C-alpha cells in the first residue's frame, strides 16, 4: 500500500474519532465534598452514626441540623474547612480517608480561629474583624483554665472542649438585650449541668438563683458563667478563683459587697489574700437559700454552725463563741433601724472628728495668717537678750534651760516610733482599695506578719502609756505636799488656759498683743490629754478585736462592728491631727520652722525659753531658782543628729499622711 495514502486514512480516522467523542476539555475533577453532600449522612435522616471512641467503644456522632447550622455563625463555611482531614476517595469508597481504620481527626477550633486572626492582622482588617480578636482572647483564657486540662478519665481529651459548650454546628450568641440573648443566657445552667455538672445543677435548681433562672425564667438571675466566667474557668480551691468569685458576687449584690469590704474579712480579701471568709463561705455556693429558709447557712438557727466551719478551734482560729451569731457582716452606719449601735457609734466619731478638726485647723490657719501679716508689716517677736537676759550674769547667757529629762525624751521617741509603725501596718486595712495598699501589705510580709508587727507595737505603745501613768503618780506622791493640782507646773487645764486662748484669738485678729505663756501652753495640754482618750478608745477596741473569742464569750457580736468603727476612726483622728496640727504647733509655725529639736536634746536656749515661756522664766528669775535648771548647750554633733532625726520623723509622718490622704479621697482607686 502506498505509505502516503495509509497515513492519510489514519489521520482521517483519528479526526472522525475526535469528532464523535465531542469537544476536547480538561480532565474531570473528583466531585467536591460540599455541605449538601455531608448532610446526606450527618443530618440524622439515616439514623445515628457511630465511630470507635478512645476506649474502643462506639461513640455516637453529633447530628447536624440543617436549619440550626444555617443560622449559626459558621453557616457560610464548608464542613471541610474545619474537618480538613476528610477527603473523597473513589478507590475505597470511603468519603473520609484512604485507610478506613484511621480515626478522623477532631476539628481544631483553636488553631482555626488563631490563624484567621493572624491573617486579619496581616491584612490590617482587625477593626473589621474585631470579634475574632475577642475569640482569640477567650482562647487564651481557656488555655489557662481548668477546662483545658487533660481529663483524668480520658487522657486523649481535655476536661471540656469548645464543642462541649458551644456546639459549633449551631453556635450563635445573639445580640445582647435581645429576646434571643435572654433565652440563650437562661439555657447556660442546663448546658453546663447536663454535659458535666449534673449534681451541681440539681443543687443549683433548688437555690434562690436556680429558681429565679429555671422556674421564673428571670434573665437577671445568676447563671454559671456569672460566677465561674465563660472561658477562664479556674480551680475553685485556688486563691485567684476565690478572689474573683467574691468580686463577681459584688456585681449583683453591690450594697452587701460594699459592707462586706468594710469588715476585716473583706479588707483582707480586697488586698488580694484569700484566707478569710468569702461570700460563699457563709451563704453557700450552688445551693444558696434565702435567709428566712431554715436550711439556709445564714439562718439564725444555722449561723453558729456556719461560723464554726472556719472558727473551729483548729489551726490559728479559736472555736466560735455564742456572740459570733449576732455579728453583722453587712452592718453599715446608714440604717439606724437595722443597725442602731453601728449608726450611733459612727455618729459619735463623726462629731468628734468634725469638731476637733474644725477647731484646730481653724486655729492653725489663723495662727499662720497672723504670723504672715506680722512679717509683712515687719513685726517680729522681740528678742529677750536686751530685756530679761540682761538681769542675768553674762556667763549664763549661753546656757540652756533643761526642759525635758532623758526619761521623757525616750518615752516621746518610743511613743512616736511605735505610733508610726502602727499607722504603717494599719492603714492598708483601712484603705485596702488604695493603689499603695496591696504593695505595702506585700512589703510588710502579708497580713499575718503585718498584724504581728501591729500588735507588738500596740503593746509597746500601751506600755509607754501605762509606764507614764505610773511615773506621774509616783512623782505626785513624792511631792504631794507642794504639788498644786491647778498650779503652773500641772498639766491639768485651768482658768488661765481659757484666758490664754481668748488672748490668742484676739491676737489672731489683730485685736490685742501676742500673749505670753507659763510652763505649759493650752495647746500643749491638749496634746498631752488627747492620748488619754485616744489610747483608751483605740486600745480597748483593738484588744476586743485581738481577742475575739474572749470578747464574744461575754458580749454580743455587734460590738465588733462598733469596735472597728471606734478603732479606725480614732486612729484616723490621731494620725491626721498629729501630722498636721501637732507638726505645725511644734515644727512648722514660722518661729520654729523647719524643725524644733527640744524634745530630742531636752534643752532650749535661754533666749527661746524666755520668749516661749515668759511667765515661767520670770517666776524662776524672781525666785532665784533658774540656775538649777541651767545646763551646757548640747554639742554640735548632738544638735546635728537631733535635726537629722527630727527631719526623718517629720518626713515619715508626712509620707504616712500622704498615704492616708490618697486613701481617704480615693485617689487612683478604680
Distances (CA, A) of 257 to 25, 246, 334: 76, 8, 15
pLDDT at residue 283, as a whole number: 95
Residues 146 and 233: beta-carbon distance below 8 Å: yes
Residue 245 falls inside a structural domain: yes
Residues 400 and 632: beta-carbon distance below 8 Å: yes
Give the domain range for residue 263.
Answer: 179-326
Beta strands in 390-539, from DSSP E residues, in sequence order: 400-402
pLDDT at residue 22, as a whole number: 44
Distance CA 289, CA 298 (A): 9
User: Helix H segments across 196-335?
Assistant: 198-205, 208-210, 224-228, 239-252, 254-261, 264-270, 279-283, 303-307
Q: Which three cell numbers stand for residue 207?
A: 437555690
Q: Give the residue carrying C-alpha cell 476585716.
A: 264
Q: What does the pLDDT look like over 318-334, one tens digit per residue?
A: 899 999 999 999 999 99
Distance CA 98, CA 91 (A): 8
Residues 371 and 589: beta-carbon distance below 8 Å: yes
Element of type H or E holding 60: strand 58-60
Distance of alpha carbon 106 from the chain centroid: 44
Residue 312 falls inside a structural domain: yes
Distances (CA, A) of 541 to 282, 525, 534, 545, 649: 25, 25, 11, 6, 27
**What are the residues whose beta carbons fall under 8 Å from the beta carbon of 361, sequence distance 6 or more?**
580, 581
Nearest by Cα to 385 from 376, 373, 398, 372? 398
The 10 Å CB-count burial string (b at 16+, else e) for 49-85 is eeeeeeeeeeeeeeebbeeebeebebeeeebbebbee
Residue 309 falls inside a structural domain: yes
Residue 63 falls inside a structural domain: no
Q: Which three cell numbers stand for residue 202?
A: 440539681
Nearest by Cα to 391 from 656, 605, 56, 621? 621
Nearest by Cα to 650 from 609, 600, 602, 610? 600
The 10 Å CB-count burial string (b at 16+, else e) for 373-390 is ebeeeeeeeeebeeebbe
pLDDT at residue 178, as a whole number: 82
Q: Which three cell numbers stand for residue 474?
A: 509616783
Distance CA 433, CA 437 (A): 7
Sign (positive or negative) of CA dihedral 360, 362, 364, 367? negative
**What are the residues whose beta carbons fall under 8 Å from the beta carbon of 139, sequence distance 6 or more?**
110, 113, 114, 231
CB-count exposure of residue 354 (10 Å: 0-12, 13-18, 19+): exposed
pLDDT at residue 379, as a whole number: 65
Nearest by Cα to 242 from 274, 277, 288? 274
Beta strands in 531-593, from DSSP E residues, in sequence order: none
Nearest by Cα to 415 from 649, 643, 580, 601? 649
Whether a cis peptide bond, with omega within 30° of 0, leads into 594 is: yes
Residues 209 and 225: beta-carbon distance below 8 Å: no
Distance CA 518, CA 612 (A): 8
According to DSSP, the residues that pair with 94 across neighbouring strands are 89
Distance of alpha carbon 409 from the chain centroid: 39
pLDDT at residue 345, as a whole number: 97
Nearest by Cα to 338 from 346, 328, 348? 328
Question: Per the structure, how many domains does the chain have?
Answer: 1
Nearest by Cα to 535 from 415, 412, 356? 415
According to DSSP, the residues that pair with 89 across neighbouring strands are 94
CB-count exposure of residue 279 (10 Å: 0-12, 13-18, 19+): buried
Distances (CA, A) of 305 to 171, 554, 646: 45, 19, 53
Q: Which three cell numbers stand for residue 20?
A: 464523535
List the chain residues with pLDDT less than 50: 1-30, 383-386
- Beta strand 400-402 with 58-60: parallel, antiparallel or unpaired? unpaired
Distance CA 227, CA 509 (A): 63
Nearest by Cα to 598 from 408, 436, 463, 453? 408
pLDDT at residue 14, as a whole number: 44
pLDDT at residue 12, as a whole number: 41
pLDDT at residue 3, as a whole number: 40
Residue 353 falls inside a structural domain: no
Q: What does the pLDDT look like over 177-225, one tens digit per residue?
A: 788 888 889 999 998 988 789 999 999 999 999 999 999 999 999 999 9
Q: Give the residue carrying C-alpha cell 475575739.
A: 548
Amino acid at each position: 500500500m502506498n505509505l502516503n495514502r495509509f497515513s492519510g486514512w489514519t489521520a482521517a480516522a483519528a479526526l472522525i474519532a475526535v469528532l464523535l467523542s465531542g469537544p476536547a476539555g480538561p480532565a474531570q475533577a473528583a466531585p467536591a465534598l460540599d455541605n449538601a453532600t455531608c448532610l446526606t449522612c450527618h443530618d440524622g435522616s439515616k439514623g445515628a452514626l457511630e465511630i470507635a471512641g478512645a476506649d474502643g467503644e462506639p461513640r455516637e456522632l453529633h447530628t447536624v441540623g440543617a436549619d440550626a447550622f444555617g443560622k449559626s455563625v459558621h453557616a457560610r463555611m464548608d464542613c471541610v474547612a474545619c474537618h480538613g482531614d476528610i477527603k473523597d476517595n473513589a478507590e475505597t469508597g470511603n468519603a473520609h480517608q484512604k485507610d478506613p481504620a484511621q480515626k478522623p481527626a477532631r476539628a481544631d477550633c483553636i488553631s482555626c480561629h488563631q490563624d484567621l486572626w493572624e491573617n486579619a492582622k496581616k491584612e490590617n482588617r482587625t477593626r473589621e474583624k474585631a470579634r475574632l480578636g475577642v475569640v482569640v482572647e477567650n482562647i487564651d483564657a481557656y488555655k489557662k483554665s481548668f477546662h483545658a486540662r487533660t481529663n483524668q478519665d480520658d487522657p486523649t481529651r481535655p476536661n471540656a472542649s469548645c464543642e462541649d459548650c458551644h456546639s459549633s454546628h449551631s453556635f450563635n450568641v445573639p445580640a445582647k438585650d435581645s429576646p434571643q440573648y435572654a433565652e440563650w443566657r437562661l439555657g447556660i445552667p442546663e448546658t453546663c449541668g447536663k454535659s458535666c455538672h449534673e449534681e451541681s445543677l440539681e443543687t443549683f435548681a433548688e437555690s434562690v438563683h436556680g429558681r429565679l433562672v429555671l422556674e421564673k425564667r428571670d434573665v437577671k438571675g445568676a447563671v454559671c458563667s456569672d460566677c465561674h466566667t465563660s472561658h477562664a474557668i479556674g480551680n475553685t480551691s485556688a486563691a485567684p478563683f476565690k478572689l474573683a468569685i467574691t468580686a463577681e458576687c459584688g456585681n449583683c449584690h453591690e450594697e452587701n459587697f460594699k459592707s462586706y469590704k468594710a469588715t476585716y474579712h473583706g479588707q483582707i480579701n480586697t488586698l488580694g489574700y484569700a484566707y478569710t471568709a468569702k461570700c460563699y463561705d457563709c451563704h453557700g455556693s450552688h445551693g444558696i437559700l434565702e435567709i428566712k429558709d431554715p436550711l439556709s447557712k445564714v439562718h439564725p438557727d444555722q449561723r453558729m454552725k456556719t461560723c464554726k466551719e472556719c472558727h473551729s478551734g483548729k489551726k490559728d482560729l479559736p472555736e466560735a463563741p455564742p456572740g459570733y451569731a449576732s455579728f453583722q457582716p453587712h452592718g453599715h452606719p446608714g440604717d439606724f433601724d437595722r443597725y442602731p449601735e453601728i449608726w450611733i457609734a459612727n455618729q459619735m466619731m463623726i462629731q468628734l472628728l468634725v469638731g476637733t478638726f474644725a477647731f484646730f485647723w481653724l486655729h492653725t490657719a489663723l495662727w499662720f495668717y497672723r504670723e504672715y501679716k506680722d512679717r509683712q508689716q515687719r513685726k517680729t517677736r522681740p528678742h529677750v537678750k536686751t530685756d530679761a537676759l540682761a538681769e542675768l550674769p553674762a556667763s549664763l547667757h549661753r546656757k540652756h534651760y533643761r526642759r525635758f529629762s532623758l526619761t521623757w525624751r525616750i518615752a516621746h521617741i518610743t511613743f512616736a516610733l511605735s505610733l508610726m509603725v502602727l499607722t504603717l501596718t494599719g492603714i492598708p486595712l483601712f484603705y485596702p482599695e488604695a493603689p499603695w495598699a496591696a504593695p505595702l501589705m506585700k512589703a510588710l510580709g502579708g497580713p499575718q506578719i503585718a498584724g504581728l508587727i501591729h500588735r507588738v507595737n500596740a503593746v509597746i505603745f500601751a506600755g509607754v502609756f501605762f509606764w507614764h501613768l505610773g511615773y506621774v503618780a509616783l512623782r505626785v506622791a513624792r511631792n504631794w505636799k507642794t504639788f498644786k493640782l491647778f498650779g503652773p507646773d500641772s498639766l491639768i487645764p485651768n482658768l488661765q488656759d481659757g484666758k490664754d486662748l481668748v488672748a490668742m484669738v484676739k491676737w489672731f485678729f489683730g485685736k490685742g498683743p501676742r500673749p505670753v505663756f507659763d510652763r505649759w501652753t493650752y495647746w500643749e495640754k491638749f496634746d498631752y490629754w488627747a492620748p488619754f482618750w485616744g489610747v483608751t478608745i483605740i486600745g480597748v477596741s483593738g484588744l476586743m478585736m485581738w481577742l475575739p473569742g474572749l470578747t464574744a464569750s461575754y458580749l454580743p457580736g455587734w460590738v465588733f462592728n462598733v469596735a472597728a468603727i471606734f478603732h479606725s476612726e480614732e486612729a484616723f483622728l490621731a494620725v491626721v491631727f498629729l501630722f498636721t496640727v501637732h507638726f505645725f504647733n511644734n515644727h512648722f509655725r514660722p518661729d520654729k520652722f523647719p524643725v524644733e529639736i527640744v524634745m530630742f536634746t531636752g534643752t532650749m536656749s535661754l533666749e527661746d525659753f524666755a520668749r516661749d515661756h515668759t511667765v515661767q522664766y520670770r517666776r524662776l528669775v524672781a525666785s532665784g531658782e533658774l540656775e538649777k535648771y541651767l545646763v551646757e548647750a548640747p554639742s554640735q554633733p548632738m544638735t546635728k543628729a537631733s535635726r537629722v532625726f527630727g527631719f526623718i520623723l517629720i518626713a515619715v509622718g508626712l509620707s504616712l499622711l500622704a498615704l492616708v490622704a490618697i486613701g481617704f479621697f480615693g485617689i487612683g482607686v478604680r
